[in-house]
Chains A and B, each alone.
Chain A
């Protein structure tokens, strides 16, 4: 099956000269369509850098990162932005809903940026909110929603573009354990539907819900294990 994410011998360094920091050091991984992967590691292990690269927010210093078949190093800002819009559905730790914007338009915004007419974008956003049980909250702004509800809206926003992969950065980090479990159940259901999911987390209990765990330490992959089918 085609790889959604392909990293070959990837390094990423920050800074210059003596203050140079190697965030990733020779990473090789392939994530295939339909996988549910957790990228695990302590803080400073290179998790965030992995997230930025997989999320097409940044380019590697050396090596090749391909997302949905596109080599990030060969794309200009415009094409990279476009790739993010089409290939990645972001779910952030602190939800990152847009301020002064209701739930419906929050979900519809990635479609607006893609040029989908407002009416159609809102229709599809409403469908997605309905799927996640948030249809009666469509006119609420983020300040009027609980954490769990905000994360559902954020997941709806990630799903509405039908991306190649859902990239979730500590999605339960700001939620209580009960709501966190509900969100993880939702990810598991989505994976059962065939969605590719990449979780970035330091929480091993959360990581256990994934079917594959890639462990990072000091910018290197030190463990890559799959659940047995």
Chain B
């Protein structure tokens, strides 16, 4: 029998039994909706982070010491001489008790040089980042992350007020916008030389951020810097290096992996409900086969082959699951859109995801439609015709 005719018949049946078909499709609708919405959450949430990292500079790579005494200011001088290196910025860090008039807390204090602003480009909530103080030996200026500022019960009007790091007084020049600064929660920034005086021991650094002249050169510079630092730190052969070089692409890869994992996890959970929906289809198709035994008998009598009966019922199951899938995609995308508004990430229709969902619901229709369809095709014409 012509597949088009079978499909038309299937649609006619769905329309004729709206309530039953609707309830049957509900399982698939909810399954596909959950699949689309959850995967979009996984992708939306992580792509926001990815975008931040892209903004952070694909030209940057960061060298971090694995101990407190791995990398030094002398390393910085040598690194700056390497070909392909544009700007080098160094930081040190230590922990200290910071106190305002209202509150006091332990926090990470990061000493940064004048290039840090150029390389990392932190977002300022109020005030400004540290000014260039290279010629001043003891510039007691401090910039707070907004979470630290709120811990200290400071607000936008606290600029130019005085807080204490340990027992030394600093003037607040700016508060950062944490939402955009990854990993800068609960930190305070002070000039590098000042930091060496109060919270860190020269000449050891905690990290060096290198900006290369362009993106393409990053792997090459990474390799060169690795061998340079290994030579300077007398590390040879199998011995593990006392520093780690990370570039933005590695971080992006890592986030990509997290995204994939999240998508698979949430998608997998949603798929379970799709399978449950498939069982609903199988159940109702079995009922339908029983109810339509007479019809099957008539069809067999007037010349329907077993394979043609099988096809007819299989197509009905597929039409049920596919129509459910289409409705599920539409609702799922609407839900994903509103979740994106709520979570403030970009909403994007993913054709791959839509096609995959529809393909999956069709597959469910086939898998769970086969048994009822086989049952229908195996009915004996004589008995089916007699069935009341």
Contact = CB atoms under 8 A, between A and B. Distances in A.
A78 B298 CA distance: 16
Interface stretch (A62-70, A79-87, A124-132, A176-184): A79-87
Contacts of A81: 300, 303-306
Interface string A134-166: 000000000000000000000001000100000
Given A96-B294, A99-B295, A112-B1, A90 B305 contact: no
A45 interface: no
Contacts of A92: 298, 385
A106 B295 CA distance: 12
Nearest to B16: A100
A112 B5 contact: yes
B382 A58 contact: yes
B9 A110 contact: no
Contacts of A77: 306
Contact of B305 (A78, A105, A109, A117): A78
Nearest to B304: A113
A77 B300 CA distance: 10
Given A57-B382, A99-B295, A100-B12, A110 B306 contact: no
A161 B301 CA distance: 13
A96 B4 contact: no
Interface string A98-114: 11110001000110111
Contacts of B381: 57
Contact of B2 (A96, A100, A112): A112
Interface in B118-160: none
A24 to B, nearest CB: 14
B1 A98 contact: no
B13 interface: yes
B128 to A, nearest CB: 76
A41 interface: no
A157 B301 contact: no
B304 A55 contact: no
A109 B309 CA distance: 12
A96 B12 CA distance: 18
B4 A84 contact: no
A118 B308 contact: no
Interface in B8-39: 9, 12-13, 16
A61 interface: no
Contacts of B294: 96
B299 interface: yes
Contacts of A99: 292, 295
Secondary structure dominating the interface of B: helix
A9 interface: no
A8 interface: no
A165 to B, nearest CB: 14
B303 A85 contact: yes
Contacts of B16: 100
B302 A90 contact: yes
A52 interface: yes
Contact of A110 (B4, B295, B303, B305): B303
B307 to A, nearest CB: 8
B301 A113 contact: no
A164 B343 CA distance: 72
A78 B306 contact: yes
Nearest to A158: B302
A90 B303 CA distance: 10
A30 B144 CA distance: 107
A72 to B, nearest CB: 13
Given A100-B9, A112-B5, A113-B308, A52 B382 contact: yes
A82 B303 contact: yes
A45 B300 CA distance: 25
A46 to B, nearest CB: 14
A109 B12 contact: no
B312 to A, nearest CB: 10
Name the residue among A52, A90, A100 with the largest chain B CB count within 10 angstroms. Answer: A100
A57 B305 contact: no
Interface string B312-346: 00000000000000000000000000000000000
A77 B12 CA distance: 29
Interface string B274-308: 00000000000000000010110011111111101
Q: Which 6 A-B pairs have the closest CB atoms?
A: A85-B303, A113-B303, A110-B302, A100-B12, A96-B298, A57-B381
29 contacts: A57-B382, A78-B305, A81-B303, A81-B305, A82-B305, A84-B303, A85-B303, A90-B301, A90-B302, A96-B294, A96-B298, A96-B301, A98-B295, A98-B299, A99-B295, A100-B12, A100-B13, A100-B16, A101-B9, A101-B12, A105-B5, A110-B303, A112-B1, A112-B5, A113-B1, A113-B304, A114-B303, A118-B5, A161-B303
Interface of B: 1-2, 4-5, 9, 12-13, 16, 292, 294-295, 298-306, 308, 381-382, 385
Given A78-B305, A81-B304, A118-B4, 6 more contacts: A81-B300, A90-B302, A98-B298, A109-B299, A113-B303, A161-B303
